[in-house]
Structure 1
Amino acid sequence: MNITILTVGTRGDVQPFVALGKELVDRGYHVTICTGKNFKRFVEDNGLIFSPVTIDYLELTQSEEGKKMMGGNPIEIVKNMKTMIIPMMERMLDDLWASSRDADLIIYHPKAFGGYDIAEKLGVPVFVAHPIPAIAPTRLFSNPALPVSFNFGWVNEISFKANRLFMASFFKLINNWRRETLGLNKKRNLFTNDLTLHNKPIPVLYGCSPEIIPFDPNWNGSVSMSGFWFLEDKIDWEPPTDLLHFLEIGPPPIAISFSSMPLKNPYKIKAMLEEALEIIGQRGLFITGWSGMDTKKTKAHIHSVQSIPHSWLFKRTSGVVHHGGAGTTAAVLKAGKPMIICPFSGDQPFWAKRMHDLHLSTAPLREKDMTVEAFVTRIQELVNNQELTSNAIALSERIAQEEGIKDTVDFIEECIR
């Protein structure tokens, strides 16, 4: 059976699907991952077939226009819709279709929103999948994709309808593509239930732990959520000598990573963190990523790298300061470390609140509120609050018992039977 996995976005939108794809290959399936062209080597290094989407989300986030849109500026979003976003989506839809023509089964991330239409055209089984529980309505919690959370059951359930509102700007594009490329004349609109196809519910796959997010029994077997989709460590990865030396000459540092989130003033934020760590007497290891921070070595208690496997590093730290992405949050949980979350957009505020509610992190700290004093207060709590550390260790032990990927593939096989 040929399985095509469609996903676009940043590393956090791709890595869990690579882990899922590897399990499917181990079970004898022929798996192709269609995603951003910048992930070609990553996908192929993990033994999967790669098919490119010509857009590059990381490149977009680093552009001046992208940074303004990432900041949630509605004027910038509208201004760039016709000149940048729509052309990019047109290319994406064509690439997704080109990669899926021979598929016997489709698994798609909602950001790859052509997945629904392709499955309709091909008449094949389809699954919608996400690292966060942002698809199937529930009264237990509100839609993690929204910037605010609610505490009322019926409001929580309604909040998931906002997913269709996110699509409203693209319906004209989608319907033109459906008609001209796929030969489908029926139009999609705000009233189209994209959780059903051919009068049957589309099964939902979540790469998330029920230890963190409650599983709703009312999903009635239509949702799989039994653990994070962790990608196994690469055994041939070797850390740089200078990094090993830094780790060996002192106590475990605090890891700091904003991943692909571009800081408005990266030099100022890094300087703040360096000063806060010096005041407290803590060491810091910066993973600069796409944040805009540099990797220059400035002080003896600081070390910087551009990127590094989280699974290797986090267990060697005393705690982690990060942006609150789903993948990074899961990696910190697996390592059993307390955290400080500095949320920017998307689902990050949801994870920041959830980790704080579970007493696994300090209070969240947004970029606009960052000061040396704010970092000092939170880092002191991170290293001195034993409840945070003990809770993180206990949860890590429970997560280690889960078999999220195995259970998800079992669920897929049961559905297609």
Structure 2
Amino acid sequence: MKVLILTHGTRGDVQPYAGLALALRRAGHEAVLGAPAAMAGLAEPHGITYAPVDDGTNKLMDDPGIREAIDTNYRGLRGKKVALEVMRRSKSLMAQVFDDMAAVAEAGADLVVHTPSIPGHHFAERLGVPAVPAVLQPVWVPTGAFRNPMVPVALPKAVNRASYLAVKLLLRSFHGLGDTLRDRLELPRRRGRHDFLRRPDGSPATVLQGFSAHVLPAALDYPAWVHTTGFWYLPAPPGWAPSPELAAFLEAGQAPVYIGFGSMAGNDPERIGRIVIEAVRLAAVRAVVASGWGGLRVRDLPDEVFQLDQAPHDWLFPRMAAIVHHGGSGTTGAALAAGRPQVVCPFVADQPFWAARVHAAGVAPPPQPQRRLTAEGLAAAIRAAVSDAAMARAAARLGHAVRGEDGNSRAVKILESLS
């Protein structure tokens, strides 16, 4: 079976799909991962076949205005204006991405697995094969159990299901690009052509949800064609080993706290860095600070802090006393699997949802939103995460359950059933 996997975005948007591609490869299938050229380093050490496409909207990540809007979760008039500008600029950037992916799809496949931001269902229709939407956040398939995590305001439970129309409206702005793509693919402009949750004949598409139901609220009412498999993990590259400096730091004292915010940064990562260093001092802990992806910048480090470019989470996180992160789906999944308490400092999008869910699960203190982050507040949260015995036990129990799901293998079995 040949599976074409299409995704786009930063590391957190690509790495889980690389894990899925590797799982398919290990199961004896051919998997091709089409994703931004800048992310090819995720695939190469594992021998994953990688089809690089244009970096598209990733080129906007260093725009100061966009970083400022991220700082405030696109709140206020300024944030809304930036959000509209991002959408406008994204269209031309993603047009090139779609063209590149169309060229990749010409090589054929038996299945097309795609993130909803990529119109993989058009490529699948052209090839005459099933399209499988594969999602990393519970924002695409309506449920009455909770409101859409992308809706930042409280809503009556009665309108939870209706709140999922928000993402459909967001994707509607890209329908013009989709129609241009369909013209290139010589596909008709049929009714329902933009609904990736439906096959061309109107029947529901099989959907993979690459996260854990253990973290979601109770009373889930997903339909049978939606499979919540568990998180998809990409293991450490073969032969990977820590630097002598990192190994020595870990051996030199009590287990440190990991602090890293991925590639998600606001307008002043140096300010975040200063807050982090002061919080480490106030909490009286040792820390491994990951600054390699731009989420924070640190200077003048004390002996208790080790600055890390990056390291595989499946190796690093189990060695930590607690994990401080931004609440991205992939990092949340890795922290859960490690069975360690967390402190979540969300920026934007689905991150506040994951922050709230791990707190509700008893494995993290209350969230520390980045826009209100202080050294004193972060230090208090870190102290709670490293000293609360009940939280540590809850994290260990939940970690055991999350690891037991084996999301990669479950996803592969579902894909095999479609071929």
Q: Shared fold by TM > 0.5? A: yes
How far did residue 220 of structure 1 move?
4.1
* Counterpart in the other structure of 2:172: 168
* Counterpart in the other structure of 1:109: 115
How far did residue 270 of structure 1 move?
1.8
SS of residue paired to 1:200: coil
Alignment of 1:98-177 (within 5 A): 98-101=103-106, 102-112=108-118, 114-148=119-153, 150=155, 152=157, 154-177=158-181
Of residues 183, 194, 197, the one that matches 1:195 is 197
**Which amino acid is the alignment partner of residue 282 of structure 1?**
V
Render the CA deviation track for 1:131-158: whole Å, top value 9, x for unaligned.
2222222112222333345461x42211
* Counterpart in the other structure of 1:361: 364
More off after superposition, 330-339 vs 49-58 = 49-58
SS of residue paired to 1:4: strand
Render the CA deviation track for 1:368-396: whole Å, top value 9, x for unaligned.
21122212221221222222111001111
Of residues 88, 94, 98, the one that matches 2:93 is 88
**Which amino acid is the alignment partner of residue 239 of structure 1?**
P
Q: Is 2:307 aligned against 1:304?
A: yes
8 A Cα contact 1:7 1:34, kept in partner:
yes
How far did residue 252 of structure 1 move?
0.9
How far did residue 40 of structure 1 move?
1.6
8 A Cα contact 1:65 1:80, kept in partner:
no
SS of residue paired to 2:3: strand
More off after superposition, 16-25 vs 252-261 = 16-25
CA distance in 2, matches of 1:188, 1:289: 46
CA distance in 1, matches of 2:116, 2:219: 21
SS of residue paired to 1:344: coil
Q: TM-score, normalised by structure 1?
A: 0.92
CA distance in 1, matches of 2:247, 2:194: 54
How far did residue 344 of structure 1 move?
0.6
8 A Cα contact 1:134 1:144, kept in partner:
yes
Q: Is 2:7 aligned against 1:11?
A: no
8 A Cα contact 1:58 1:260, kept in partner:
no
More off after superposition, 121-130 vs 374-383 = 374-383
Stretches of structure 2 that go unaligned for 5 or more consecutive residues are none
Render the CA deviation track for 1:343-362: whole Å, top value 9, x for unaligned.
11111011011111111111
Alignment of 1:7-406 (within 5 A): 7-55=7-55, 57-68=57-68, 70-71=70-71, 72=74, 73-82=79-88, 84-101=89-106, 102-112=108-118, 114-148=119-153, 150=155, 152=157, 154-179=158-183, 181-186=184-189, 193-197=195-199, 198-213=201-216, 218-291=221-294, 293-294=296-297, 296-406=299-409
User: Using a 3 Å threshold, how does the CA distance of structure 1 residues 390 and 46 change in structure 2: closer, same or farther?
Assistant: same
Render the CA deviation track for 1:218-273: whole Å, top value 9, x for unaligned.
44420112322122333411211111121111111111011011133222222222
How far did residue 321 of structure 1 move?
1.0
8 A Cα contact 1:35 1:53, kept in partner:
yes
Alignment length, in residue pairs? 411
User: Using a 3 Å threshold, how does the CA distance of structure 1 residues 106 and 149 change in structure 2: closer, same or farther?
Assistant: farther
Render the CA deviation track for 1:167-225: whole Å, top value 9, x for unaligned.
1222222223322x122341678x95431122221110011122222587744420112
8 A Cα contact 2:57 2:94, kept in partner:
no
8 A Cα contact 1:7 1:13, kept in partner:
yes
Q: TM-score, normalised by structure 2?
A: 0.91
More off after superposition, 325-334 vs 135-144 = 135-144
Identical-residue share of aligned pairs (%): 32
8 A Cα contact 1:261 1:323, kept in partner:
yes
User: Using a 3 Å threshold, how does the CA distance of structure 1 residues 150 and 335 change in structure 2: closer, same or farther?
Assistant: farther
CA distance in 2, matches of 1:215, 1:116: 31
User: Using a 3 Å threshold, how does the CA distance of structure 1 residues 298 and 220 change in structure 2: closer, same or farther?
Assistant: closer
**Which amino acid is the alignment partner of residue 277 of structure 1?**
V
8 A Cα contact 1:138 1:216, kept in partner:
no
Stretches of structure 1 that go unaligned for 5 or more consecutive residues are none
